[in-house]
Amino acid sequence: QSPLITRIDILQARKACGLMTRNSYRAVTDITTGRHRGVTR
């Protein structure tokens, strides 16, 4: 709700992206292939 929280969120997201680059790729494939598995929001 404050700019600081958003900045921290962005930093954490960047760190998560850096640590989960491989998982990210797998997640993308899982999402694209598992879309018909019933993983709809």
pLDDT in tens, 1-41: 677 878 888 888 888 767 667 666 777 777 777 665 555 55
Contact between 16 and 24 under an 8 Å Cβ cutoff? The reply is no
Task: Output the pLDDT for position 26.
Answer: 77
Place of tokens 């491989």: 22
Q: What is the pLDDT, as a whole number, of residue 15? A: 81
Q: What's the pLDDT score for residue 41?
A: 54
Number of domain units in the chain: 1
Encoding tokens for residue 3? 């700019």
What pLDDT, on the 0 to 100 scale, is given for residue 22?
67
- Residue 18 is predicted with a pLDDT of 74
Decide if 12 is inside a domain.
yes
- Domain extent, residue 26, equals 3-31
The reply to whether the predicted model has a pTM over 0.85 is no
Say if CB 12 and CB 19 are below 8 A apart: no
